[in-house]
Amino acid sequence: MAVGVFDSGLGGLTVLDAVARELPEVPFVYYGDNAHAPYGVRDADDIFALTCRGVERLWDEGCDLVILACNTASAAALKRMQETWVPADKRVLGVFVPLIEALTERQWGDNSPPREVAVKHVALFATPATVASRAFQRELAFRAIGVDVEAQPCGGVVDAIEQGDEILAEALVRSHVEALKRRMPRPEAAILGCTHYPLMEGTFRAALGPEVRVFSQADLVAESLKDYLARRPEFLGPGRVSRFLTTGDPQRVSDKATQFLRRPIRFEAA
Ligand code: DGL
């Protein structure tokens, strides 16, 4: 009854931790495409091809349901995958919609017309590809009116995290927050729209200040997955074993994962 969790690299581990906490009885298989990270600077065709390859590998592990724990893949590839590629007996879900439902105070599947919501000024931090896709703004516009979104493409942050360079990652986060605040001095809410960024959450929060509400994507995705599996238990696949797979060097990736999550994690070659 395993579920797959896909990311370009280490960031999806923030989602994996949250879903494993919410569903302790479910085995999860993680796939990090570390050899090809970062995705945020790649074009949509490239992201589509790499994401499909990773998802297929997770299907081979008996995971009929795969979470794209990657905003870049969710923004640039998921719609095309669902429309042209995913067979009827499999599911691939993204990480965007639970976040936007929380921001717009909606229950799952509430497709009523867009309406005014409490939050008016939202800062979005994401990879260059996610920002360029405008997928966040598109999904938000289906559900809310009158929300001003200022998006900051955070070039370099995923790369620094994947290299294990926390000092560089912190410096980049601070400069991206400053750049955003020059354009939107008083955001009410901030979205960390890349699953790598919670690894730097303390730095984001310190730079944003205590009055900005930071939405935790990982927890929202975990709640949403629990709800989904209660409604569609048939998508708990036949897999029985939790594993961590990487296209990168397993030892190196294990070391970085252990460094960032502060607990031992052992990756195997995908
Ligand atoms: N964790 C991925 C995301 O959520 C990072 C993408 C990348 O590799 O640039 O967007």
State the pLDDT at residue 255. Answer: 96
225/253 Cα distance (integer angstroms): 26
The reply to whether 136 and 197 lie within a common domain is: yes
Which of 6, 74, 196, 246 should be mutated for ligand 1, with most atoms under 8 A from CB?
Answer: 196
The reply to whether 123 and 89 lie within a common domain is: no
pLDDT > 80? residue 6: yes
State the pLDDT at residue 110. Answer: 81
State yes or no: is 194 an active-site residue: yes
Using pLDDT thresholds of 50, 70 and 90, give the confidence band for residue 238.
confident
Contact (Cβ atoms closer than 8 angstroms) between residue 93 and residue 182: no
Determine if ligand 1 sits within 6 Å of the CB of residue 198: no
The reply to whether 64 and 138 lie within a common domain is: no
Of 175, 193, 216, the residue that ends a domain is 216
The reply to whether 251 and 205 lie within a common domain is: no
Of 172, 191, 216, the residue that ends a domain is 216
Using pLDDT thresholds of 50, 70 and 90, give the confidence band for residue 97.
confident
pLDDT > 90? residue 216: no
* For range 203-214, the mean pLDDT: 97
Q: Where is the binding site for substrate, in residues? A: 7-8, 39-40, 71-72, 195-196
* Residues 6 or more apart whose Cβ sits within 8 Å of residue 93: 65, 66, 67, 68, 225, 228
* For range 123-138, the mean pLDDT: 94
Span 161-198, pLDDT tens digits: 999 999 999 999 999 999 999 999 999 999 999 999 99
The reply to whether 21 and 89 lie within a common domain is: yes
Q: How much is the mean pLDDT over the chain?
A: 94
The reply to whether 241 and 251 lie within a common domain is: yes
Of 174, 200, 216, the residue that ends a domain is 216
20/2 Cα distance (integer angstroms): 11
State the pLDDT at residue 236. Answer: 86
Q: Where is the binding site, in residues? A: 7-8, 39-40, 71-72, 195-196
Strands (E), 58-143: 65-68, 91-93, 115-116, 121-126
The reply to whether 211 and 104 lie within a common domain is: yes
* For range 211-230, the mean pLDDT: 93
Distance 6 CA to ligand 1 centre (A): 10
Determine if ligand 1 sits within 6 Å of the CB of residue 11: yes
State the pLDDT at residue 74. Answer: 94
Domain with residue 186: its CATH number is: 3.40.50.1860
The reply to whether 54 and 107 lie within a common domain is: no
The reply to whether 209 and 168 lie within a common domain is: yes
State the pLDDT at residue 87. Answer: 97
- With a pLDDT cut of 70, the percent of the chain lying above it is 100
Nearest atom of ligand 1 to the alpha carbon of 73: 10
The reply to whether 182 and 121 lie within a common domain is: yes
* List 52, 63, 70, 154, catalytic entry: 70
Domain count, the chain: 2
The reply to whether 123 and 180 lie within a common domain is: yes
Using pLDDT thresholds of 50, 70 and 90, give the confidence band for residue 237.
confident
Find the domain containing 158 and state its range: 97-216
State the pLDDT at residue 201. Answer: 95
201/193 Cα distance (integer angstroms): 12
The reply to whether 26 and 70 lie within a common domain is: yes
Distance 205 CA to ligand 1 centre (A): 19
